[in-house]
Amino acid sequence: MVDLKLVYQDLVRFEIELWNAVDARLRAECDLQLTWFEVMRLLALRSQCRVQDMADEFGITVGGTSKVVDRIEAGGYCRRRANPNDRRSSLVELTPAGRRLVARATEVFEAELETRIGSVVPERDLESFAATLSALRAAGRAVNTPQESA
């Protein structure tokens, strides 16, 4: 029988080690911290979105997300503009400098993932692992979602 405590421990430790390694490489090669990269990568994929959308995507607070966006904006890598569909919110988008930085950082990010995951685990096993992680995350969200009363 698998000891779930050990699975938990390995999963959490690996996530921390992976985060630290990717963060260190992004800082060294791009002068960019991983927290900023994650937000900027989302903006590159969606072109523009609200802070609320980013917070929902990352599963963190709107306040925390807004602070990260403020710092990225102060660095000149993103900007906020009025949301034409909702005056109460703004849309965040990358600046040209932000697009260039995230493009360069994406290459570094992907190379580090290949080094630490892709070159270690066979593709077939990664496909199974990715499906397992998706199932675990979905189950976790279901547990955390308040049940509607009948």
Q: Is the pLDDT of residue 78 over 60?
A: yes
Q: What pLDDT, on a 0 to 100 scale, did the predictor assign at position 114?
A: 98
Residue-level pLDDT at 108: 99
Q: What is the pLDDT of residue 150?
A: 46
Are 78 and 94 a contacting pair, CB within 8 Å?
yes
Helix (H), strand (E) at residue 90: strand 90-94
pLDDT range class, residue 131, cuts 50, 70, 90: very high
Instruction: Provide the residue range defining the domain that includes 46.
Output: 4-142
Within-domain flag for 149:
no
Q: Does position 147 have pLDDT exceeding 70, yes or no?
A: no
Domain count, the chain: 1
Q: Model-level pTM?
A: 0.86
Beta bridge partners of 81: 91
10 inside domain: yes
Which pLDDT does position 144 carry in this prediction?
A: 79
What is the Cα–Cα distance from 69 to 29, expressed in whole angstroms?
A: 22
How far from the centroid of its chain's Cα atoms is residue 53's Cα? 13
State how far the Cα of 117 lies from the Cα of 111, in Å rounded to an integer: 10
Q: Is 147 among the domain residues?
A: no
Query: Whats the size of the chain, residue-wise?
Result: 150
Residue with tokens 């279901």, as numbered in its chain: 142
pLDDT at residue 149, as a whole number: 47
Task: Give a yes or no: residue 121 inside a domain.
Answer: yes
Predicted confidence at residue 35, as pLDDT, reads 96
**Does a structural domain hold residue 61?**
yes
The CATH code of the domain that includes 32 is: 1.10.10.10
123-to-5, 12, 105 alpha-carbon distances in Å = 26, 22, 24
Instruction: Assess if residue 56 is contained within a domain.
Output: yes
Q: Is residue 129 situated within a structural domain?
A: yes
Per-residue pLDDT reduced to its tens digit, 38-59:
999 999 999 789 999 999 999 8
Mapped onto helix, strand or coil, the DSSP state of residue 59 is: coil
Of the pLDDT bands very low, low, confident and very high (cuts 50, 70, 90), residue 125 is very high
Q: Considering the domain boundaries, does residue 126 fall inside one?
A: yes
Q: Give 15-34 pLDDT, tens digit per residue.
A: 999 999 999 999 999 999 99
